[in-house]
Amino acid sequence: MDLTRAMGWLPVSQYINSPRAKPAALHIWHTSDYIAALQNAEASGNVSDAVKQRHSIGTHSNPVFPEIFRRPATAAGASLLSGELLRDGGVVYSPAGGTHHGMPDRANGFCYLNDPVLAILSLRRQGVHRIAYVDIDAHHPDGVEFAFADDPDVLMLSVHEEGRWPRTGALTDRGVGQVFNLPVPRQFNDTEMQYIMDQLILPKVIAFKPDAIVLQCGADMVEEDPLSRLSLSNNAHWAVVAALRPLSDRYLVLGGGGYNPWSVGRLWTGVWAILNGNEIPERLSAEAENVLRSLRWYGNRRGKNPPDHWFTTLRDPRNPGPIRDEIRTRVNAHQS
Ligand SMILES: [Zn+2]
């Protein structure tokens, strides 16, 4: 958001502070015991072994931290509010959302609440019925699939790295015929993503005629991300953001994963530009460059000597490549 403001793209009239969700509002999907456990962990700064066992809080992947309730409850508040804001149509962008691994009664994969699920339920509450959920994070949205695998009115499309945690999201999961998972191999490139978009994502969304689209736009499929082994440029994400826009009257774009602060900031600032029709300049202004130069990334070799274009541009060089046979075969499996 600092970078977006430095670009001159975020007037106060377009920005809303997210309200923190109240526990009662979270009970539409999360259990009251679990919400109370998160609040207690925030108040006390630790959890008992029993709570750790039962709710997966205080583990390596779901550590206790000072804002363990407030932070996720604020992103969840944005997703709940989005359902109301989109009732009569529009576009909402909530980059702090996209915590797609959260489960009803436990934390999972550094997701304490599942704000995409809450967004979909909030849309439903406003009378918005048919919802297409598209997820282009490197990880499979196991929490969202758990919530809606049996719901014929939630189309579920996910592209994610094969063999990567949480190791769910098989090509053969079909839900009640509306679940389409596409695990992709290492070195996944821009041309392959374009192919999947044209052959799978867009046709399925168009045929579904959604009343709303929710896009989880995680930034961890890009080449420079330290967790995944995929190789997209941010152009590939932006193409999906742009292509989905005209396919429904209501569009919620969420963030998600992303573990390189420069690629996250550049990608998600570009998402806002795409949604607003702003032209992305070749070279950033000094003010925008300063935001990127002030970022720090400790504990990773890529943070030591960042290449200059991480400071001076938003757009990555494109990464085209061959469309591998396994990609074609898997897309075909969903077309029959
Ligand atoms: Zn991820």
Query: Known catalytic residue: 101?
Result: yes
- Domain assignment present for residue 223? The answer is yes
**CA separation for the pair 200, 184 (Å, rounded):** 13
Owner of token pair 């389409």: 180
Helices and strands of the chain, counted as H and E runs = 14, 6
Residue 145 confidence (pLDDT) = 98
Q: DSSP for 176-198?
A: TTTEEEEEE-TT--HHHHHHHII
Q: Which listed residue (30, 55, 101, 140) is catalytic?
A: 101
Q: DSSP for 206-260?
A: HHH--SEEEEE--STTBTT-SS----B-HHHHHHHHHHHGGG-SEEEEE------
**CA separation for the pair 131, 214 (Å, rounded):** 7
Residues 310 and 25: beta-carbon distance below 8 Å: no
Residue 257 confidence (pLDDT) = 98
210 φ, ψ (degrees, to nearest 5): -70, 145
Q: How far is the CA of 299 from the centre of ligand 1 (A)?
A: 19
Q: How far is the CA of 330 from the centre of ligand 1 (A)?
A: 21
Average pLDDT by consecutive 10-residue portion of the chain (336 residues)? 98 97 98 98 98 97 98 98 98 98 98 98 98 98 98 98 98 97 98 98 98 98 97 98 98 98 98 98 98 93 92 98 98 92
- Domain assignment present for residue 85? The answer is yes
Q: How far is the CA of 307 from the centre of ligand 1 (A)?
A: 23
Residue 299 confidence (pLDDT) = 86
Q: Which domain holds residue 148?
A: 80-278+320-333
According to DSSP, the residues that pair with 106 across neighbouring strands are: 103
**CA separation for the pair 163, 138 (Å, rounded):** 11
Q: Which residues contact 60 (CB under 8 A, 6 or more apart)?
A: none
Residue 92 confidence (pLDDT) = 98
Residue 69 confidence (pLDDT) = 98
**pTM for the model:** 0.98
According to DSSP, the residues that pair with 232 across neighbouring strands are: 222
232 φ, ψ (degrees, to nearest 5): -70, 155
Element (H, E) at 289: helix 286-293
Q: How far is the CA of 251 from the centre of ligand 1 (A)?
A: 21
Residue 334 confidence (pLDDT) = 97
- Domain assignment present for residue 17? The answer is no
Residues 237 and 217: beta-carbon distance below 8 Å: yes
Residue 76 confidence (pLDDT) = 98
Q: How far is the CA of 138 from the centre of ligand 1 (A)?
A: 5
Q: What is the CATH number of the domain that holds 109?
A: 3.40.800.20
- Domain assignment present for residue 41? The answer is no
Q: How far is the CA of 139 from the centre of ligand 1 (A)?
A: 4
- Domain assignment present for residue 245? The answer is yes
Residue 302 confidence (pLDDT) = 87
Look at the chain and report how many structural domains it folds into: 1
The number of beta carbons lying within 10 Å of the beta carbon of residue 21 is 26
Q: How far is the CA of 52 from the centre of ligand 1 (A)?
A: 23
